[in-house]
Amino acid sequence: DAKTTQPTSMDCAEGRAANLPCNHSTISGNEYVYWYRQIHSQGPQYIIHGLKNNETNEMASLIITEDRKSSTLILPHATLRDTAVYYCIVREDFGNEKLTFGTGTRLTIIP
Amino acid sequence: ETGVTQSPTHLIKTRGQQVTLRCSSQSGHNTVSWYQQALGQGPQFIFQYYREEENGRGNFPPRFSGLQFPNYSSELNVNALELDDSALYLCASSSMGTGRYEQYFGPGTRLTVT
């Protein structure tokens, strides 16, 4: 699995958009970008994933650069409940591929 | 749709003992993966089970073993517990063969080895 680089921590004001960057410069052509988050003492929660195109669901948007070497997870209107550690992971989608977690970004939403 | 459940929630064991942790996968899922999360670190992959067979393993010794049952639920067994085995143990279910490979995690079992 390719490695990812994320900032250790970020703050965002409640109600504003939270933009979480991730670098994955060694990503291969068949590797997807996945985002998970982990609220304190809970299991990780799947957020979104994508290959090339930008993706949006009810939780977030994922913007992947054209060269696929970096991506940004966007939480459009952050709430206090979005305070969590956010993990950016790249993996092939063959079904039996493990998730390789780094240390993630600790996002704190400020009231 | 039933989510992933794990039992017990918390467990305290003594060094050298054996422990069994249990996981029920999300309905419609046929694959279970287990992860270990030490304090302050990201989850580390232990192994995955599909069709009752081990389908991939991380860098964990053989004293970590597992089972998957016909209903796709799973057990993680750890023998000869060591102090470093203290961690949050997470199971995640997914669905092989459907084209959707997101893994959905349970709440975890917090194991403390004294």
Q: Which residues of B touch A44 (CB under 8 A)?
A: 43, 90, 92, 105
Q: Which residues of A touch B48 (CB under 8 A)?
A: 96, 98
Residue A95 binned pLDDT confidence (cut-offs 50, 70, 90): low
Tokens matching residue B28: 């419609």
C-alpha distances out from residue B45 to A107, B28, B38, B50, B71, Å:
24, 22, 12, 15, 22
Is the model's pLDDT at B90 over the cut of 90?
Answer: yes
Q: Would the CB atoms of B88 and A41 count as touching at under 8 Å? A: yes
* Residue range B93-111, pLDDT digits in tens: 988 776 667 889 999 999 9
Task: Please answer whether residues A1 and A86 qualify as being in contact, where contact means their C-beta atoms are separated by less than 8 angstroms.
Answer: no
* Residue range A33-80, pLDDT digits in tens: 999 999 988 999 999 999 998 999 999 999 999 999 999 999 999 999
